[in-house]
Chains A and B, each alone.
Chain A
Amino acid sequence: MFFRMIRGTFTKQLGKMLLIAFTIALGASLATAMINVMMDVGNKVNAELKTYGANITVSPKGASILSDLYGVEEGTGDDEFLSEEALPKLKTIFWSYNIVDFTPYLKGRVTLDESDVMLVGTWFDHHMETPSGESLDTGMREMKTWWDIEGEWLTDDDDDECMVGIGAAQKYGIAAGDTITVNKGGSSAEYTVKAVFDTGSDEDDYIYTTLKAAQELFGRQGLISSIEVSALTTPDNELSKRAAQDPQSLSAADWETWYCTAYVSAICYQIEEAIPDCSAKAIRQVADSEGAILEKIQLLMILITALALIGSALGIMNLVAASVMERSQEIGLLKAVGAHDIQVIGLVLTEIMLTAVLGGVLGYIAGMGLAQIIGMTVFSSSIAITPVSMPLVAVLVLCVALIGSIPAIRMLVKMNPTEVLHSN
């Protein structure tokens, strides 16, 4: 009989039940979409922030600071270089998956028109096979997205060509298409200028060519002077700050946690482990800012999600309460013919819960679609579906439907059947 009555409600009040199911589905889809987007927004924004460029530099351990200094001649020791062969090892570390891009540099001062200029050899669009069998394209083009290029990017085969910073170009009166000759000690090289670039920073005074060309010019075959690495990282916290000071000071458990979290300091540490005699340091300008902005965006999304959840919860509760009250007459009749409170409540709750499950399932499916639409529109990549969103949404929908029924149920229990039947 109980089921017959439930079936009766569903067939007779199909329209109303569908309306409730529809509202629940809307709320559930909103919750699903927002929870998934919120959970994944960190990764997405992190990837976007990669446009700020590398966040780790790797240099030889004992490297003299002299070569970097204003107007000071570089040192000459052979020990101040890293081996080019060590580069693939970057993709063997624990967090290798988080290393998005990297590029090696070989820097040195050369003479052009009888004055000194910095010449840098690097990768532009280097293709490599990693030890793990992955294939990877990396280099300047990926990492210096903000460079304003007049002309064309170099490729890794353009050993006779170069790119000149706008500062150097103005100083020496160089334009794209020109040919320049640079000297280094006894050797000299001739490059065709393929592009002039503008970055608004020190690099504007440099000349860039391929790594191979620079190694030949400097006579440093197979050597590089530094590596820039762009890695996806987790915002720093107290633990990672402590670890950055001295990893050895951590307790075994803390050390484990730190090592297995993508903190920038942990990644630096792992790079130092992988490449012999190197020093990997976080570029604070990028690493710190990333952390701060990521945290803000995540907090923002959490608050917006909370608002969306509260909004949809109230909407569902409203409708559930209204629909139960609407049927006070029918329920009064049930009580008049001898139904116990518990039976009436059971009936109402079963109906509401069945509707909630129906709406919730539809809403969950729709919500996953909605999350993908958001992901594709904003980030042009799909949002990873968080498994935890399913139980979360299920509990949310059922709780909301249950809470929405409470005021109505209280009213039903208090209700005197005769009153309801008489006051139309």
Chain B
Amino acid sequence: MADKSKSVTAQDNEDILVLEGVSKIYGELKALNNVDLKVKKGEWVAIMGPSGSGKSTMMNIIGGMDKASEGRVILDGMDITKESAKSLTNIRRDKIGLIFQQFHMVNYLTAVENVMVAQYYHSMPDEEEALQALDRVGLKERAKHYPSQLSGGEQQRVCIARALINYPKILLADEPTGNLDETNENVVVEIFRQLHNEGSTIIVVTHDPEVAAVAERTIVLEHGRITKNIINHNDYSKPINLRDYEGLSDEMLLGKG
């Protein structure tokens, strides 16, 4: 196993994220049970599963907000399992862009300032760049609005712009469409498609089969284990309409591993 991880960094088509035998144990409960996962650079991966399957735990461990009880997490060639809380903060800041189900904006700052907060903690606030990021999610004209003046979809797009602003290695989205209607859901997924085409690595945690289906690869978690690893063959050259996707069937998701 150790040899394998060393060779990972040397590969051309490099794995940006590697989980090796990762377990998370809460007392008697094994929220994650010996999970192995590799995500390649530029890959678009969806993690699916019913409530309590360990999705959030996995997401938190990848995002450096929680620590694995066993196993190793290698992010961009760096083992983050042994890092202190302080350097995990730095890793989060430099390598990961986080998107949440609840949009979580600082409610006394405008849209563009909310993007700049991430720049501020990372390095230097740059309004030009922040406006460009908002432009990319189609919100340039709403830059001076406060969160209370934005719709849910717009707030989520600001959060995506904020997640992207520091050129993270991985975009980590936790139920990004969970609080959105169909139209806004589509807008967000479309942004993900564009980012994917530009080469961003995207990991989406979702329980929505359609959102899971538009990813390149769908991983299904059950009782803390990966039970399915489905490769989806999608055409990313033209805009996505979620209505065109049937979504993954129940049989595919719940069938025997």
Task: List chain A positions with a Cβ less than 8 A from chain B.
Answer: 422-424
CB distance from B180 to the nearest CB of A (A): 12
Which A residue sits closest to B152, measured CB to CB? Answer: A422
The interface residues of chain B lying within 8 Å CB-to-CB of A424 are: 102-104
Residues on the A chain within 8 Å of B152, using CB: 422
Q: Please, could you name 6 A-B residue pairs with CB atoms under 8 Å apart, sorted by A?
A: A422-B152, A423-B107, A423-B148, A424-B102, A424-B103, A424-B104
Instruction: Give the chain B neighbours of A423 by CB distance below 8 A.
Output: 107, 148
CA distance A424 to B152 in the complex (A): 11
B residues neighboring A (CB under 8 Å):
102-104, 107, 148, 152
Contacts of B148 in A (CB 8 A): 423
- For A419, the closest partner residue in chain B by CB is B148
Rounded to whole Å, the gap between the CB of A222 and the closest CB of chain B is 91
Separation of A423 and B103 alpha carbons in the complex (Å): 10
- Cα separation A233 to B148 with both chains bound (whole Å): 68
Lowest 3 A-B CB distances belong to which pairs? A424-B102, A423-B148, A424-B104
In the bound complex, CA of A424 to CA of B107 (Å): 10
- Bound together, the chains give a CA A39 to CA B102 distance in angstroms of 58
Chain B residues with CB under 8 A of A422: 152
Give the docked Cα–Cα distance between A422 and B148 (Å).
Answer: 10
List chain A residues, Cβ under 8 A from B104: 424
CB nearest neighbor in A for B105: A424
With both beta carbons as reference points, the residue of chain A lying nearest to B103 in the complex is identified as A424
* Nearest CB on A from B152, distance (A): 8
Residues of chain A with a CB closer than 8 A to B103's CB = 424
In the bound complex, CA of A331 to CA of B104 (Å): 21
Question: Residue of B at shortest CB range from A423?
Answer: B148
A333 to chain B, nearest CB (A): 15
Question: Closest approach, in angstroms, between the C-beta of A416 and any C-beta of chain B?
Answer: 14
Provide the bound-state CA to CA distance between A244 and B103, in Å: 82
Chain A residues in 8 Å Cβ range of B102? 424
Nearest CB in chain A: distance from B159 CB, A: 12
Determine the distance from Cα of A13 to Cα of B26 in the docked complex, in whole angstroms. Answer: 25
A422 closest partner in B (C-beta): B152
* Complex: chain B residue closest to A424, CB-CB: B102
Instruction: Give complex CA distance A424, B147 in Å.
Output: 11
How far does the Cβ of B89 sit from chain A's closest Cβ, in whole Å? 23
Minimum CB distance partner of B147 in chain A: A423
Expressed in whole angstroms, the Cα–Cα distance for A319 and B107 within the complex equals 22
